[in-house]
Amino acid sequence: MKSLGLIGFGISNQAVFNHFKNDFKITVHNRDEIPLPSIAYACFGDGYLNCSEDIVFRSPGVRPDKIKTGSPVFCESTYALDKIKATKLCITGSDGKTTTSTLIYEILKRKNAFLGGNIGAPLIDAICGGYDFIVSELSSFQLMDASPICDVAIIIGITENHLDYHTDMAEYISAKENLLKNAKRIILNYDNEILRKIGKKYKNTEYFSLEQPCDAYICDGYFCVKNKKLFSVDKIKLRGKFNLLNVLAAILATYSYANDTEIENAICSFKGVKHRLELVRELNGIKFYNSSIDSTPSRTAATLSAFDISKCVVILGGSDKNLSYDILGEHLKDAKAILIMGENKQKLLDALNKCVNKIYVVNNLSEAVKIGFSLCKKDDCLILSPASCSFDMYENYIARGNDFTRLINNL
C-alpha cells in the first residue's frame, strides 16, 4: 500500500484523509500532538516537516519550501481542481474574493453548482459529485506552488497582504498570478495597476472597471457587459463602491452560463456574506456592523468608504501581518472615535496618533463594544473592521465576528 503524508490536520487535510483513507497508509505530521483517527499514524514534534511518504498534502498555512521531501506536494483545493470534471470558476484577490465567489455561486446555484476552496466545503469532496459548475475561492497560500486548470480565472485586485507569510510583495503577486497560467478565460480588475500589467502577458484577458468602458463596466447608472445594459446599480443591496467591482466581476464571469434575468435576480437579492459589512442590529438609532473579515488595512479602508466616517466609532486591531497601517490615517482622520485592541495596538497607535484625535486602547473586544456603545448617539455606527488577523485572540475571523455579534445582541 502506498503512503500519504498530511502536514497539519485542519479542515482541508481532514477531507483529504477521508478521501484517501481506504487506499493509502496515512501519516499526519504536526508540530503539536493532536487527536487523530485510530487508523492514522502520527509524526509529532520538531521534525514534522520531514516527510518520506509517496505523496504529501500540506495545509495552506505551511510554506512548500519548508517541507523536506522528495515526493510531490499538493494543497487539497488545487489538487482537486485538476481532478474535477466540471466548468470551474476560480477567484482570488487581496480583498473581495469571498463576496465575488458567493455572488457567482448565487447566480449558478440552480445549475448544479458547488462552492468551495477557501470558502465553503473542501473541493476534494466534489470530485465524485457530478457537479456542472465549481466555484472556488483560492488564497495565495494555496496558489503558491500550483497553477490549477480552470475555465475562468478571476483576480479581484492585488494590494499589500500576507507579508508575514510571503518573503516579499513580488512573491505574493507571483502566487496570485499562478491562477492565470492554465485558465481558458482570464478576468481582471482594470482599475488595479498591478493587474493591468499582468493582463498584458495573456491574450485571453477580459477586464471589469469602474473607471472606463471595457468588458464589464457601469454606464448611466447601469451595469453593462459587452456593451449591453443589464440592470440599475440602485437595485443592489450591497453597500460600498468596492462592491460594485465585485458585482461587475461576477457578471462578467457568468454571463455565458446564465441569462440576464438569472443574473439580475441573484445579484439584486444578495445581502452580502457574513462578517463582511454585516448589519448585526439597530439599537437606540445606532447601527452595529460586523466586518470581522477585514484583515488588511486596504479592506478596512474600503469598508469605511461606505460610511459617513464622522458618525462612526471603529474597532481596530488584532494580530499583525507585517503590513503598513499608514493608509488608514486618511480614512479615519474624521472618525468619531477609534478603539484599538490586540497585539498590534502599538503599531496602530504609531500610525494613527498624528492624524486621529479620539483613540482609546482597550484590552479585548468586550471592552471595545462597551466603550464604543457609550460613545455612540442616534444615527451613529459602531463598526468592527479590524484591519488585522484574529489569531492573537480568536481561532479565526469567524469566531471574532461571532463574538462581536453575541456582544452586540446582549446590549
Q: Is 377 exposed, middle or buried (0-12, 13-18, 19+ CB in 10 A)?
A: exposed
Contact at 8 Å (CB) between 122 and 128?
A: no
Check whether 256 has a pLDDT greater than 80.
Answer: yes
pLDDT at 353: 87
- Identify the sign of the CA torsion 220, 223, 228, 231: negative
With bands split at pLDDT 50, 70 and 90, how would you rate the model's confidence at 354? confident
Q: What domains, with CATH codes, occur in the chain?
A: 3-74 (3.40.50.720), 78-268 (3.40.1190.10), 278-409 (3.90.190.20)
**pLDDT tens-place string over residues 73-117:** 999 999 999 999 999 999 999 888 999 999 999 999 999 999 999
Check whether 120 has a pLDDT greater than 80.
Answer: no
**pLDDT tens-place string over residues 375-398:** 999 999 999 999 999 999 999 999
**pLDDT tens-place string over residues 43-70:** 999 999 999 999 999 999 999 999 999 9
Which residues 6+ apart lie within 8 Å of 350 measured at CB?
A: none
**pLDDT tens-place string over residues 309-350:** 999 999 999 999 888 999 999 899 999 999 999 999 999 999
For 109, the grid coordinates are: 446555484
Q: How far apart are CA 364 and CA 343, in angstroms?
A: 10
Q: Which amino acid is at 214?
A: C
With bands split at pLDDT 50, 70 and 90, how would you rate the model's confidence at 282? very high
Longest Cα pair distance anywhere in the chain, in angstroms? 67
| Coil, helix or strand at residue 136 | strand
| Predicted TM-score (pTM) of this structure | 0.86
Quick one: which of 332, 328, 404, 394 has its CA closest to 367? 404
| Coil, helix or strand at residue 211 | coil
**pLDDT tens-place string over residues 143-178:** 999 999 999 999 999 988 888 889 999 999 999 999
Q: How far apart are CA 226 and CA 144, in angstroms?
A: 33
Q: Which helix (H) or strand (E) holds 403?
A: helix 397-409
Q: How far apart are CA 389 and CA 202, in angstroms?
A: 34
Supply angle C-alpha 293, 298, 301, rounded to 5: 85
Check whether 279 has a pLDDT greater than 80.
Answer: yes
Check whether 232 has a pLDDT greater than 80.
Answer: yes
